[in-house]
Amino acid sequence: MWSLIAPALAFALLAAHFLRAEAWIAVAVSGGLILLLLVPRPWVAHVARAALAVGALEWMRTVIVIASVRISAGIPAGRMILILATVALLTLASILVFRHPALRRFYRLGPRPTGEPVRNA
């Protein structure tokens, strides 16, 4: 299940982000989502994708908050914006791993909507 490294890393980064803010429930949820990725049920894939989308929104909210503080204080914010926006985009992109055929089989998501043939086994 090497394909799950991207979403697991995204959840770990979110947990670290929430840990820094001492948001203990969010830390527990983020950590729990990493473990939940190991459960082969369709609803797990849907929950993980939704959580990754919300996580990307959290990163973008963080960019806006920190950038506004830095800009109002006259501190350069460009590098921070670039780094956190990249983290947000990678978090969002990690949703795409659930389209991989091996993960579609693992989570029993059915055939891809692009017309991947269904194999009767």
Confidence of residue 2 (pLDDT cuts 50, 70, 90): confident
pLDDT tens per residue, range 72-119? 999 999 999 999 999 999 999 999 999 999 999 999 998 766 655 556
DSSP string, the chain: -GGGHHHHHHHHHHHHHHHHTT-HHHHHHHHHHHHHTTS--HHHHHHHHHHHHHHHHHHHHHHHHHHHHHHHTT---HHHHHHHHHHHHHHHHGGGGGGSHHHHHHTT--S-TTTPPPP--
The yes-or-no verdict on residue 62 having pLDDT over 70 is yes
Whole-structure pTM value: 0.88
Give tens-digit pLDDT for 28-44: 999 999 999 999 999 99
